[in-house]
Structure 1
Amino acid sequence: MFNYVKILNVRCQKIAASVILIILCVCFLHKINNSKYLPWAHLKDISCYYSVKGDVLPSADSNNFSPSQKSIFFMETSCRRNLTSRDLCAIESAARAHPDYRINVLFAAPISAELLGQFSLRQKFENVRFARIHIDEYSKNTPVQELVWSGGLYKSHWRVEHASDLLRYLTLYKFGGIYLDLDVVVAKRLDTLAANWAARESEFYVGSSAIAFSLDSVGRSIAEAAISDLQKNFRHDLWSHNGPGVITRVLKMRCNTTDITLMNSKICQDFEVYGPELFYPIKWQNSSKYFDSGMLENKDAYIYHVWNHMTRNRTPDKNSPYAQLARTFCPFTYALYGDRFGL
């Protein structure tokens, strides 16, 4: 005769053990998710942000770093401690178009003397300057200090990209000027535009790949609103939330509209929002057009954004729009790399 009581007890014990195991797993995952050691941590290492070994660059967080109002900023936030041909093309094109501007290339990682000597662009263009960001010191006494010091970036699913998002807004908050991504080609002077501007990259987002906040009252109010939004609304689990999401939310409030296609300097209190044709003439969904053989359709843009996130594994055809742009606006870099340009 079966001992039903014994069987029931065994089953209850198994259920209890399963429940305990589930609770332990949930607690463990919660602990990981709120620590510096996420399961995907190995994908994007940002430990270099806290290293000073072999660093020869001047510090961007010292009192000696005082960019002029005519400043363009680029950020390199990976730990690869190098610049690609695409990066150098962006810097060269900006330097050529703005010989009277300081082109500031800010590194989150330490750069050695050996690596620095490989960046021949510094010798070619006197207005190009490299500096090092020590992120804890750089954020000190700013609204995002606690976010940085508490390890908020370590919780991010996209650490390098979200660090770039944070640092671009923080830099414009600290110094004012123009920020550009490293995957652009600058085709025209940007000081012919409004003093404060951004551009729509789609019908849903104002882009953050190219933005200008001057030190006037308009620029200061936008910079303060952006850094405040980051402080309050930083998300580690959403790709666009801390980049284009910030400027989009700020402008929806400032312009008193949720329709970004209606945004302009009139309803946005002197902050200009340009159309995508001037900064994002090829949408990210069609980014391969930059790399395939063909003619550049839009020749009136100020900036061409080649969407590295989508195209990093593409090599531009010699007759592609990207190669044509490079030969025109960053000829030194294009000649230096030859067939390896764009890799």
Structure 2
Amino acid sequence: MEKDNSTKKSLSEVLDLRQLRHTNSPVFSTVIFAVIMLLVVAGTILSNMSLESTFFWSSPTSQVIQMNRMERKPLAPPNNSTSRDRIAWLRSHLTEFEVFRSTNLSKQFHQRVVDSLDDKCEVRFFMTWFSPAEFFGKREILAVESVFKSHPRGCLMIVSGSLDSQQGDSILKPLIDRGYKVFAATPDISLLLENTPAKSWFQEMKSFKRDPGRIPLHQNLSNLARLAILYKYGGVYLDTDFIVTRSFKGLRNSIGVQTLLEGDSKNWKTLNNAVLIFEKHHPLVYSFMEEFASTFDGNKWGHNGPCLVTRVVQRARETIGDNFTVLPPVAFYPFNWLDIPRLFQTPKSSNDSIILKTDLVKLNRESYGLHLWNKFTRKLKIGKGSVIDIIVSDHCVVCRGIQR
């Protein structure tokens, strides 16, 4: 009834019906009919839009879900730019990088870490998020939830200015309401890098004396921030596309192999920095930061991340000894980016089902987690009954909107 009254009111505001009654002109009749039809059609469209939105966000029975529907536009200079162009670009866009800011809130970062990650934490976890909060989607939420599925008494600090906000609070609230210790804190990168070999690199970048490169600078700042955080506080760093499947409680000073040498089951070719586990002030992490500052190249994918830790570890045994462990690929990277797409697919044959069971045994018994390789799988849908579908179901804790 309220809706009908509203419609009548809208009509009377558009046309004075009393005046129209006194004319026999077909034009006025046509106008009345057109206005009525317009309102009816508009109401139908709005109603359908509302229903469609409700269905997408609340339906628990869809056979596939798509993670991270929004496309993010990376903050990066044009691909064909020169070094001088890129430095000029950084100068004009510096204010858009929250990590270069120093505020009253960011200066509290150290104390907030100390207060939040106390001795009661079963394991200390860190993640970084230097993108807008609205891009912290289903996949990232699943990564966070999986931490607490395996570590209900663990603590997670998400180093992020955008999530250290009301919007971030609403994203993390379902976990906080259930008693899980997850926090977001705005970093002060300049203070975080004090007394580290990367401090000068940051100052030079901020004062436009270094080429940021063509790769989004946020990515390389994340590569550096994770090292500084582990060096200053110790703990476990995880990428936001890593799903934890087993407790990390027994791991110390460890890094994982991404790929082995071809035809060699023992000797490795490449390490990765998506998962790092180190104690406070570990010399290997210090060496990582030295390498970052001295060899930085913002034009090569992986140069300041996986390739960096690979270079340093290859030299490290001669310089700092064996006080760290290199874990095999199955620990953190059981499936590479070429193999992982099949984990999203619904099994279509008995052979597919056998392979699926084998994959799940590997993930649940031999691996500590699964790196989803967002760069390659972001747009993939999760097939019903697929490995990823089962992993989502088994390792979420709130499970709102991220499982069937």
Does the alignment reach a TM-score above 0.5?
Answer: yes
Shift in alpha-carbon separation, 1:110–1:73, aligned structure 2, 3 A:
closer
| Residue 75 to residue 29, structure 1, CA distance change in 2 (3 Å) | closer
| Post-superposition offset of 1:106 | 1.2
Kindly indicate whether residue 155 of structure 2 is the aligned counterpart of residue 105 of structure 1: no
Alignment map for 1:299-318 (pairs within 5 Å): 299=363, 300=365, 301-318=367-384
Partner of 1:242: 304
Equivalent residue, structure 2, for 1:206: 271
Q: How does 1:148-167 map to 2 (within 5 A)?
A: 148-151=202-205, 154-167=212-225
Deviation at 1:172, TM superposition (A): 0.7
Q: Which residue of 1 aligns with 2:232?
A: 174
Q: After superposition, give the CA deviation of every residue in 1:257-303 in whole Å (9 maximum; x if it has no partner).
A: 9xxxxxxxxx9613111110121111112221231124251232111
Whether contact under 8 Å (2:197, 2:293) holds in the other structure is yes
Q: In the TM superposition, what are the counterparts of 1:13-162 in structure 2 within 5 Å?
A: 29-37=82-90, 47-50=97-100, 61-66=109-114, 67-68=117-118, 70-109=123-162, 111-119=164-172, 120-151=174-205, 154-162=212-220
Does residue 1:183 correspond to 2:241, yes or no? Answer: yes
Give, in angstroms, the shift of residue 328 of structure 1. 0.3
Given that 1:48 and 1:110 are in contact with CA atoms closer than 8 Å, whether structure 2 keeps it comes out as no
Retained in 1: the 8 A contact 2:84–2:211?
no
- Determine the structure 2 residue equivalent to 1:329: 395
- RMSD of Structure 2 on Structure 1 (CA): 3.0
Number of residue pairs aligned between Structure 1 and Structure 2: 293
1:283 equivalent in alignment to 2:341: no
Bigger drift between 29-38 and 231-240 goes to 29-38
Q: Is the 8 A contact 2:393 2:403 kept in 1?
A: no
Partner of 1:10: none
Q: Following the alignment from structure 2 to structure 1, what is the Cα–Cα distance between the partners of residues 132 and 369? A: 26
Quote the Cα distance in structure 1 between the aligned partners of 2:211 and 2:386. 37
- Are the aligned partners of 1:158 and 1:239 in contact in 2 as well (CA < 8 Å)? no
Distance 2:224 2:291 in 1: 11
Q: Which has the higher helix share?
A: 2
For 1:191-270, what aligned pairs fall within 5 Å after superposition? 191-193=249-251, 195-203=252-260, 204-215=269-280, 220-256=282-318, 269-270=322-323
Deviations 1:14-63 (A, max 9, x none): xxxxxxxxxxxxxx94421333449xx99x9952334689x9x7766333
Question: C-alpha distance in 1, partners of 2:162/2:203?
Answer: 17
| Structure-2-length-normalised TM-score | 0.65
Cα 1:132/1:292, change in 2 over 3 Å: same
Q: Name the SS for the 1:34 alignment partner.
A: helix
Amino-acid identity (%):
21
Deviations 1:57-115 (A, max 9, x none): 77663334313473111111223455211111111111221233221111143643244
Distance 1:79 1:49, change over 3 A: farther
Equivalent-residue separation in structure 2 for 1:307 and 1:338 (angstroms): 19
Residues 1:320 and 1:58: Cα distance change in structure 2 (over 3 Å): farther
User: Which one-letter code corresponds to 1:201 in the other structure?
Assistant: Q
Q: Deviations over 1:138-173 (max 9, x none)?
A: 334432122223225844523222121111111111
> Is contact 1:156–1:237 with CA below 8 Å preserved after alignment?
yes
Match for residue 19 of structure 1?
none
Task: Could you tell me which runs of 5 or more consecutive residues in structure 2 were left unpaired when the two chains were aligned.
Answer: 1-80, 261-268, 348-355
